[in-house]
Structure 1
């Protein structure tokens, strides 16, 4: 499995979580009871995993391929900027939820708008990488490139979707399985 296919699998997994948040948005729009703790867990996982594992691997992969194709360089640079923007959006939303969990008052329509914005931006980013960057990387990469990257960017165990869930994500994993089976 190449590094890009591992990153693609991360995108598949992140998309599952974003689908859960989309369902939560729809329930909230129809006066559903919000589960802020679960939403915080989902957003926290997405933000934490992306910031500490996924985006650093992508950024190092992009640096490896830098200079091979001008168009690829442009979209990779755009993507690196997006990584920083997404970090801010996720962090801001987590602060909002934390405030709500500590009795801060926020109109529900404002919370829904922020949650929708988070989901929209995350999905757009995944779509951008899948549609504009990964195909270009695959076109310029050789088997030797993938072998070098596999050594320099080893896959880390995913704390939610891996074989063994980290303690902090066990409840989220249960909720994810319930949601997928519902």
Structure 2
């Protein structure tokens, strides 16, 4: 599996979580009260995994390819800027959810709008990376490039979707499965 295919699999997994959040948004709009704590866990996982593993891998990949293609440099820069913005959206949303969980008065329309913005921005970013960054990278890279990159970017197991879930995420995974099947 190549580095890009590993990052693509991350995107597939993240999209599954974003689809769960989309379903929660619909339930909120219908007036039901979905599991807000579970939503917080999902958003926290997305932010934590992106900041701690996924984006740093991309950053190293971008550093390797920097200067090889002007068009690729431009889309990688746009992607790096988006990473900063996405981090801000995630943390702001987590603060809002924390307030909701601690009985702060948060207008439901505002809460839903923040959730929709978060999900929409995340999906748009995944689409951008798939369509622009990864495709240009694949056009630019040689086999020698991929061999060097793969040595520099060892594979780490995904703590939620990987074969060996960490203790921290075992309960989230079980809760997600129960929630999806209910």
**Equivalent residues, number:** 182
Unaligned runs of 5+ in 1: none
Q: Deviations over 1:21-55 (max 9, x none)?
A: 00000010000113110000000000000001000
Cross-structure match for 2:69: 69
Q: Distance in 1 between matches of 2:2 and 2:164?
A: 22
Which runs of structure 2 are paired with 1:6-155 in the superposition (5 Å)? 6-155=6-155
Runs of 4+ in structure 1 off by over 6 angstroms are none
Between 1:114-123 and 1:159-168, the stretch displaced more is 159-168
Shift of 1:155: 1.3
Q: Distance in 2 between matches of 1:181 and 1:6?
A: 27
Q: Which has the higher contact order (CA 8 A, sep 6+)?
A: 1
Alpha-carbon contact 1:3-1:150 (below 8 Å) kept? yes
Alpha-carbon contact 1:20-1:179 (below 8 Å) kept? no
* Secondary structure, counterpart of 1:104 in structure 2: coil
Unaligned runs of 5+ in 2: none
Query: TM-score, normalized by length of structure 1?
Result: 0.97
Q: Distance in 2 between matches of 1:104 and 1:139?
A: 50
Alpha-carbon contact 1:11-1:126 (below 8 Å) kept? yes
Q: Distance in 2 between matches of 1:2 and 1:174?
A: 29
* Secondary structure, counterpart of 1:172 in structure 2: helix
Q: Distance in 1 between matches of 2:3 and 2:178?
A: 30
Residue 37 to residue 148, structure 1, CA distance change in 2 (3 Å)? same
* Secondary structure, counterpart of 2:158 in structure 1: coil
Q: Deviations over 1:50-69 (max 9, x none)?
A: 00100000011011011111
* Secondary structure, counterpart of 1:164 in structure 2: coil
Q: Distance in 2 between matches of 1:62 and 1:49?
A: 18
Q: Deviations over 1:112-158 (max 9, x none)?
A: 00000000000000000000110110111111111111111111111
Q: Deviations over 1:69-119 (max 9, x none)?
A: 111100000000000000010011011111111111101111000000000
Shift of 1:181: 4.2
